[in-house]
Amino acid sequence: MTLPSTFNRNSTADQVLEGKNLSGKIAMVTGANGGIGYETARSLAAAGAHVILGCRNSRLGEEALAKIRLAHPNAQVELVSLDLADPASIAACVESLSTRNDIPQLDILICNAGSMSTKYLLTDQGIERTVAVCHLGHFILTKGLLDTILKAPAPRIVMVSSESHRYPLRLNFDNLLVAKKQNRITAFNAYGQAKLCNALMALELQQRYGSQGLTACAVHPGALVTTGFGRESWLTQALFTLASPLTKTPHQGAATSVLFATHDNAEDIAGGYFSHCRTARCSAEAGNKDVAKKLWDFSEHHLHNYANV
């Protein structure tokens, strides 16, 4: 392993990219209008990459673009509409990017967008919203963009997972999409299951497409309070406030994503799990190749009910 030992939980995205020239690289970051998604996109653009911000809220997306351009006048940034809970929005995003002559390849895809509600919410397709956004929406997006991704000389996909992937201990395929409300399915349970899916998806991407030059990994960005998670719950917000001394800023939270999206030696990170800019040990379930393949097959099987991608 040749991972840099100088970076840690306090490192920022700009620090890990210092000295890197990403000119000629095309990157896409989902959920890039705020928090770690914004800092991920901004830092990549500051290093010279052409960055596509995939955002659900167009107003917030435009504000993010303006902030990046103000901070970095030469930045190459653009906005695409992307609602990961809406299959039509995903299909439109894939179509628009796949048919553009000025985007011959996609070098970096960072699946960062997330969602967690303390209420039980279903999408129009009858899928629990957290799982739909965090896993299935990213699965559909990634599959739709694979041809464009694999055209890159050294394509990289980073799945933003979480230490929450450790709970539940096993992926519940009987109710993976949480379409059946059960008392034991809480918001944090659904979120943990979705984050486990993120780690498993990185593992399976590496198994399926590593021979074609793709490198995929999963990362834990760190504990953050500057997100929309639990915004409708005063109790959740109070807990986040109490935990704030132990949390990271978005600038620090983005560091692990951009480090492993741009690290030169692909062998160091292929199929791995990383936290605080360092190698970390994922749960036994997240490292199970049989479960990863089962999840991929399961997700593909449900695509015809969810999206025409």
Residues with active-site annotation: 191
CB atoms within 10 A of CB 4: 12
Q: What is the CA radius of gyration of the chain?
A: 18
What is the distance between the alpha carbons of residues 277 and 117, in angstroms, rounded to a whole number? 28
Residue pair 273/218 in contact (Cβ under 8 Å)? The answer is yes
Q: How far is CA 132 from CA 163, 193, 233, in A?
A: 19, 11, 21
The b/e string for 218-246 (b: 16+ C-beta within 10 A; e otherwise) is bbbbbebbbbebbeeeeebeeebeeeeee
* Collapsed DSSP state (helix, strand, coil) of residue 233: coil
What is the distance between the alpha carbons of residues 78 and 76, in angstroms, rounded to a whole number? 7
| β-bridge partners, 216 | 157
C-alpha 7: how far from its chain's center? 21
Cis peptide before 104 (omega within 30 of 0): no
CB atoms within 10 A of CB 74: 8
Residue pair 216/270 in contact (Cβ under 8 Å)? The answer is yes
DSSP state of 293: H
Nearest CA to 200 among 107, 127, 150, 134?
134
207 Cβ contact list (under 8 Å, min separation 6): 271, 289, 292, 293
